Structure 1
């Protein structure tokens, strides 16, 4: 199986079993450190899938449904890192495009910081909710099929989207087309070097991590190659959503918590009702400090749950 990024024909198999029991292989290229699914849908199949089927299989609450409002509620409180990373670019006269905006959690936080905030989301229910909740235009076609003008946005964002597309290089080039000459691309994807995959022996997490909806799995090395091929240059970041208690749950039990929110934000001990307030504050203060140190350590090791970059056109490619 040839690597779709670098063409290398010497690949190995990362897994032959995915989430929900699906039997598909994920290959790994040791040359560029890219993971990729052996069978990938074409563009028409992908559009049908994300409009009609995706949220039936992948949802923030394993016990319930994932309607647009539930998706928004599960994500809107956890956008601080994303906003902080780009906030200095969010001028009052700026235009920002969020590709794959889901139900609008990120748009909700930036809409009042910029002149124009626009979304693209092919799930019609999520797009409708995002537009109404955020007061922003949200288009329900692929980016190239919208009436949006190229080179019209100061920032083009895509969070947890590029792993779903059929051709990551074409996707990056398309995002680049819609950024202004000096505009930036802000992209975030799951990290192939996620510590629960790369450092711990957790068979259930491994199948939980690999899924048929993710066609590609990126590391910093593979992303740097992609940026170079797309004529982009920028700075990388590592980001950890899930906290220490969530990871301890996986390490000790090798199974997920019921809701995504349970593993995000600030962890807290389940103290008994009536516990002395000073003791509760001290215990949870200790847990918060350890959690911050843990996340910092994962960033230093490059083993966070997410990796991404903020990039611009290469200087020599300008003009």
Structure 2
């Protein structure tokens, strides 16, 4: 991830959460109060998003120091101390929620991805994400997928040609278009570096698409038995991607059909944030300390 992109996202999140400052911390805490905080895991998982958490602290106050004890992509148990934060108490508390929100979501994605990857162990199938990401967070969520051992699909509509069912419906709506010929014409227009993928939802569509020389054929909502047959029909002429109906109960059987790629929208569109917490211990203050004041 580019540090500038991390800072841009975190800056926007901090402005959303405290547009005119943190009035609670300002009202309750002395300006000179210092705090230390332990970032603790309430459940096991895989870490992702440490740069976002650290940026939330640093961009709130350059005087905050954040030290992680494990790296992104590493697994941990419940009760593990993941990081320590120290600095001005007001600032630590101001940054806490934004830092945790990003870290918890990205670690949730990495943890769920790791579960899917584990279910495909021993097969050649790779787990990939989709464009079903949170608007504005795509680069971060896809980074989290990689932390969990998964891979990324195309990043955006600008990256590759991916003809899905609605594209093909429009292309062949008058019933006179030869699909193989039409796809070959598209292939001829593309740079040699541009990936070309086509989705099919029936076995009888495969031959026309494979004959066009596309790079990947997506078999959408196929049963495991149909996937086995689809892999045989494609016979190495293109990469085979399975999509639809993929969950932790089905992904192992799908991987064993011989497909090359399994795309899983659930990695990003419905994942649960991991339970992490920041336990703060404010250092004792002198007896004559004065409380903050709102101007």
Under a length normalisation based on structure 2, what TM-score does the superposition of the two structures give? 0.27
Give the TM-score normalised by the residue count of structure 1. Answer: 0.25
Which structure has the higher relative contact order (CA within 8 Å, separation 6+)? 2
| Largest Rg, 1 or 2 | 2
